[in-house]
Amino acid sequence: MRKREENKLSMARAVQDALGNNTSIVGSVPAFGNAKTELDQVIQEIDGMMQTQIRKVTSADKTKAMNLALDVAIVVIGAARAYALKEDKPSLAALFNYSRSELVKMRDTQLVNTLTLVHDNAVTMLTQLADYGITAAQLTQLQTLTADYNSLLSAPRANILAKSVATQGLATAFEKMDGVLARLDNLAVSKRSSEAEFYNTYSAARKIVDSNGKGKSKADNPKKKEDDKMS
């Protein structure tokens, strides 16, 4: 994230604090309270994308994803084998003839393909597996966790893709934040006379400090959209 975006986010956090410390005033106007909630949400979104930008997929991430998928797969496999053995269907039982240790020893792509087959075969017998505690939600979960694991198999590519998505998302999130702040500015102005101390605190929080330590308030002229753009 660039310096100007860091400065803008710092300003937004200051505004968030100012609003959070004056909940009775903000809450007295429903639209004000709603805008404050939107600001909280967009800051949270930006924080998440920033973490994605600096985070790298590691072998530990892949191992964790594999184990999550295996936890669900083993339950499905056990139930399916139990059903097949009870019904004396050896060919069906063979489709689910895997132990956890065997699965762990498989190469990554082989494991993904095996978990996919387990899921697909289990889907065809979902009705029969209901009595064995297997639900459609569990099979969907297995499918999702397998996809998550598969996405981490190529760590460098996964890192590049995640960062690219986060970078694009940040631009959109900052535009959204600008819009929310513009609405908050107009709402804050309505309290300029009745809640002067609050307004002054809000106005001070709306200053973006540049790299030279200089700041400019964005709340004094809320009607201009360009006020929320950094030069």
Q: What ranges do the domains of the chain cover?
A: 3-56+157-228, 59-151
Q: Model confidence at 199, in pLDDT bands (50, 70, 90)?
A: very high
Q: What is the mean pLDDT of residues 188-208?
A: 93
Q: Kindly calculate the radius of gyration of the chain based on its CA atoms and give it in whole angstroms.
A: 27
What's residue 231's pLDDT? Answer: 32
41 has pLDDT over 70 = yes
Residues facing 217 on adjacent strands: 207
Q: What is the mean pLDDT of residues 4-19?
A: 92
Please, are residues 126 and 43 in contact by the beta-carbon 8 Å criterion?
Answer: no
Closest CA to 77 of 62, 57, 99, 44: 99
**Distance of alpha carbon 75 from its chain centroid, rounded?**
28
Residues facing 216 on adjacent strands: 208
What's residue 220's pLDDT? Answer: 57
d(CA 140, CA 126) in angstroms, rounded, equals 12
d(CA 88, CA 126) in angstroms, rounded, equals 18
In eight-state DSSP terms, residue 110 is H
Average pLDDT of the chain is 86
- Taking the complete model, does pTM exceed 0.75, yes or no? no
The residue count for the chain: 231
Closest CA to 43 of 174, 167, 165: 174
d(CA 152, CA 179) in angstroms, rounded, equals 35
d(CA 99, CA 215) in angstroms, rounded, equals 63
126 has pLDDT over 60 = yes
What's residue 196's pLDDT? Answer: 95
What's residue 170's pLDDT? Answer: 83
Percentage of the chain modeled with pLDDT above 90:
67
The amino acid occupying position 100 is R
Quick one: which H or E segment has residue 38? helix 30-54
d(CA 46, CA 191) in angstroms, rounded, equals 28
Q: Model confidence at 160, in pLDDT bands (50, 70, 90)?
A: low
| Residue 211: Cβ-neighbour burial (10 angstroms; 0-12, 13-18, 19+) | exposed
57 has pLDDT over 90 = no
